[in-house]
Structure 1
């Protein structure tokens, strides 16, 4: 074998090794999809776990198909002035190197898509999420990827001649790569892009209902931190392929890439652990998850061009940045379930900037000095961030107007597993079976069983018990009655988990007198151990339609009050849900509030309703007006439209009533108004509030024409 032949064989073997290396790395990146699924499912509540898992599977399929159809072409095709590609759509080739590169890049685009999934979890419609995936992976990601990475289709395999045969042109570089912007494996192109889109989406969607209520602090925790930690470790494992495969070859640069990736993550984890000890005096699981992921994202941009000591520093700062941004988001009530924005956006921005600050300029090979490299990195960060956030925010906002991306409050409270996917709940089914058993006494009925859930294990033993009972005919009748009683008792015990409507221990009273068969007025109280929620509302309209709107508003109140949502957030969600409902022009005026038994403080929001009235211990009355709009008139973007009013009762009594009182007539046939309503309340004042409300009702009816109400009369009182 001569020297030329030997060289040719070496090149072929090297090429095959490089191809095999990239394929193996692509498989590692694919495994990251499972890591995202585990982490996001573990950090979401159990009632939404199926929805989160299905999103992670579905977005992979959607993103790969869209990328094959036109995403790859937009990203790597012939460049139009460095802004986007114009060919290579429906990508096909017989070159192994090209196939390998497509597979690897397809894994990257799927990663960018699934970053968004965790941020919007627990409140976004499944179909809306798929639409957002198409936007992210088919348009935004390929375009910004073209700006910085389009030249990689040439440089990785030095295939200028082959590419010329396909595209007919040499121009393949994007405008950012022409300037010298460097993002080795995608701290910005993949992670920050996903983070920017996630930020736009969570701002549009708003936080989960009750997430930032005072009563719910610490209650919105994940369903399984062990599963979330497993997901984190899987992501860490897959990241070696993410960064290592971006080198495009198995050469002497790979060991440095891998050790930098490993060290940045490890020190990121220790940083999260250390900060959690400083803040909470104990290891916080969320910080321990946040730390290594932020370190991985931060080092991704410069893992091939930094020393190991520098990578440690980059990982530490990445974790600190992510934790700070996470706290900032919580301060402004921007709800990111899994910390996607702090980890992928914030740490990604830091990592991309760190390339200019710390990388070996000879490895970057851009021909720029240190200051110029930093400037170009900033230009890339700002331009990509601005384009991604603004375009995604505008498109999603417009789409949201025609097809609401968020599920209804009732669906959110029920859980997306059931609301979006009709998934069954073992516990719910078991209680249904027990209830049916208690009614019929039929021992042949069997409950659902599953050795992997608490309810399923109960069902398993319950079924064994039923089977044993059936085998003994002599004992069946004796046991039938006993088991039936036990089952009824079990049902009652289950019911005791729900709050009762026994209001004896609460200083609240209400009365509703309908002028017609169906009332558009309603009031309701929802008690908790240390407080009680209340609502009084008047639907603008009469008859069946008003009754249906009233039922919808009442249901929303029940759902939100059960979750201890603050009154302003409750009214905000009720308004937006009702405004999305076709109510034939009807709207609802309402007062919604909460009274605390502990502090004696009452907090309420008035949504276009008549003023609330407060009577102090000396018989003086204060009116609390409101300029907030009624519910259902127009969709609101911010809950601050509905301001909370609050005061301590200290022996005072709080009243709220519908216009059935204020528009009732006096002896002269004139409407009594608010002042007249106050006079009636005072005239009939009684320490026994029930007697007072009854007397007020009789007074209004007796003064009306034909001794009948002209409108529904609803009145509530809070306070002793």
Structure 2
């Protein structure tokens, strides 16, 4: 067992786990002051729920050991790994303990679910959100993670470890979809679900451009900084080894979001006359989203180009909700869905070796589009059905009067900012 690589994976897992509290700050600063507890609790609720479900059965769905030649579409389950029973011991000759990989992938499940919550800020019941999160993770995230990340922990020829998005498409087109760290499984997946929930819950009271402003931009900047810090574990850690590929992913995780940050600010300056702190934070996140699938398949120059493209396009894409009439509260669709699509499709043209400009073949672009569309449709449809069922049974949205008053005290019995300790 390589202790260096084991330590690398465990540290990367800790970095990715930190992204969810970072997301809580990022989202928390964007909502109104009377909803900040509710917003941040949806992220922390995802940490608690996904941490338990992943151990109980999530891993067994995402990484089933299936007989060679059998399909994993739409999803399979491996009872031998319930409660991680099948991965408690390290096989002889393994590069790292299976539990290190289990821990790393658990943090991906947590952050993906938490991302969805930004679309329903200011108006969702916490209990309904937790029910949705558990069902959606079970029928959407866990199987989609298998499609993308189930590349195997061993070289046993009697088993097939490849998800259909990678190995399955490779059998047909000669190349598999490239998604190094989760452009499809995390960002397109979460963005599509966010769009579905925004449609199910409807618009906030008084929804219009300029009606809802971030209550705490310093929180937004703090959250973005923590996200960027954790993203090095997200991207470089996906190599599962401290090597040259991890180093390339690390550098690209600097270059792309830096370029996206600048591009977003330029668009803001041209469009609105002033570059904003929230714009800087959002631009960095857009670049991080776009580089996620591509971080190990681009040179740093093309990573900068991707960042510029993602920052500019996402800065414009967040206006779609006003033009199309859906209330994606914190721009999960405009940043994560659009950014994930940009990063995933960009590889079809610029991926080192297999992209169109290097190979002269459209095959990489075709498989990237198939992967993106499959995850988008699968996640959107099921998220809409789950959310609609919850809304029509126990109710997903709070009452209008509670939304106007601020839902922190109604849902959690707490206030984000107690300005006086004097009790009436």
Find the residue that maps to 2:319 and give its secondary structure: helix
1:138 aligns with 2:128: no
Q: Does 1:375 align with 2:390?
A: no
Q: Which residue of the other structure, out of 171, 174, 193, is the alignment partner of 2:160?
A: 171
The one of 82, 94, 97 aligned to 1:89 = 82
- Partner of residue 109, structure 1: 109
Say whether 1:456 aligns with 2:423: no
Counterpart Cα distance in 2 of 1:22 and 1:105: 10
- 1:89 to partner: Cα distance: 2.5
Partner of 1:257: 249
Residue 45 of structure 1 aligns with which residue? 32
CA distance in 2 between partners of 1:315 and 1:221 (Å): 26
Partners of 2:42 and 2:195 lie apart in 1 by: 18
Structure 2 CA distance, aligned partners of 1:370 and 1:43?
43
CA distance in 2 between partners of 1:393 and 1:337 (Å)? 17
Q: CA deviation at 1:369?
A: 6.5
Distance of aligned partners of 1:262 and 1:425 in 2 relative to their CA distance in 1, 3 Å threshold: closer
Q: 5 Å matches for 1:404-483?
A: 404-423=395-414, 455-456=419-420
Alignment check: 8 A CA contact 1:361 1:370 kept: no
Does residue 274 of structure 1 match 2:269? Answer: no
Query: Cα deviation per residue 1:87-131 (whole Å; 9 max; x = unaligned)?
Result: 122213212521000000000010101101222111011011101
For 2:93, the equivalent position in structure 1 comes to none
- Residue number in structure 2 paired with 1:68: 55
Q: Which residue of 2 aligns with 1:312?
A: 304
TM-score, normalised on structure 1? 0.54
Shift of 1:244: 0.7
Shift of 1:78: 2.7
* Structure 2 gap ranges (5+): 91-95, 170-175
- CA deviation vs aligned residue, 1:6-54 (integer Å, no higher than 9, x gap): xxxxxx4xx1111110111111111111210111110011101111122
The runs of 5 or more residues in structure 1 that have no matched partner are 1-11, 427-452, 464-490, 492-720
Aligned to 1:193: 189
Write the deviation string for residues 635-694 of structure 1: whole angstroms up to 9, x where unpaired: xxxxxxxxxxxxxxxxxxxxxxxxxxxxxxxxxxxxxxxxxxxxxxxxxxxxxxxxxxxx
Aligned partner of 1:639 in structure 2 is: none
Higher strand share: 1
- The Cα shift of 1:132 comes to 1.5
Q: TM-score, normalization: structure 2?
A: 0.90
SS at 1:360's partner residue?
Answer: coil
Deviates more, 1:105-114 or 1:403-412: 403-412
What is the deviation of 1:75?
1.1
Alpha-carbon offset, residue 224 of structure 1: 0.3
Please tell me whether the aligned partners of residues 67 and 138 of structure 1 are also in contact (alpha carbons under 8 angstroms): no
Shift of 1:232: 0.6
1:414 to partner: Cα distance: 1.9
1:203 aligns with 2:199: yes
Please list the CA deviations of residues 251-297 of structure 1 after superposition, one character each: whole Å capped at 9, or x if unmatched.
12222111111010101100111111101111133322221111111
- CA contact 2:293–2:344 (8 Å) conserved in 1: yes
Q: Root-mean-square deviation (CA), in Å?
A: 2.0
Whole-angstrom distance in 2 between the partners of 1:369 and 1:111: 36
Q: Where does residue 391 of structure 1 map in the other structure? A: 382
Question: In structure 2, how many angstroms separate the alpha carbons of the residues matched to 1:145 and 1:241?
Answer: 17
Corresponding residue of 1:160: 155
1:555 is matched with none
CA contact (8 A) 2:25 2:222 kept: yes
After superposition, the C-alpha distances for 1:37-91 in whole angstroms (9 at most, x for unaligned) are: 1111100111011111222111111012112222211111034513123212221
Contact 2:195 2:333 in 1 (8 A): yes
Partners of 1:116 and 1:148 in 2: CA distance = 19
Q: Which residue of 1 aligns with 2:238?
A: 246
Partner of 1:327: 319
Hey, what's the Cα distance between the residues in 1 that align with 2:32 and 2:127?
A: 20
Greater relative contact order (Cα 8 A, min sep 6): structure 1 or 2? 2
Secondary structure of 1:253's counterpart equals: helix
For the residues of structure 2 that align with 1:275 and 1:424, how far apart are their CA atoms? Answer: 36
Greater Cα radius of gyration, structure 1 or 2? 1
Quote the Cα distance in structure 1 between the aligned partners of 2:405 and 2:319: 28
Residues 588-609 of structure 1 show CA distances to partners (whole Å, capped at 9, x for unaligned) of xxxxxxxxxxxxxxxxxxxxxx
Q: Deviations over 1:423-482 (max 9, x none)?
A: 2587xxxxxxxxxxxxxxxxxxxxxxxxxx5x328x5xxx9xxxxxxxxxxxxxxxxxxx
Could you tell me whether the CA contact under 8 Å between 2:34 and 2:415 is conserved in 1? no
Q: Distance in 1 between matches of 2:415 and 2:275?
A: 35
The 8 Å contact of residues 193 and 388 in structure 1, kept in 2 or not, is answered as: yes
State the match for 1:54 in structure 2. Answer: 41
> Following TM superposition, by how much is the alpha carbon of 1:311 offset from its aligned partner in structure 2, in angstroms?
0.2
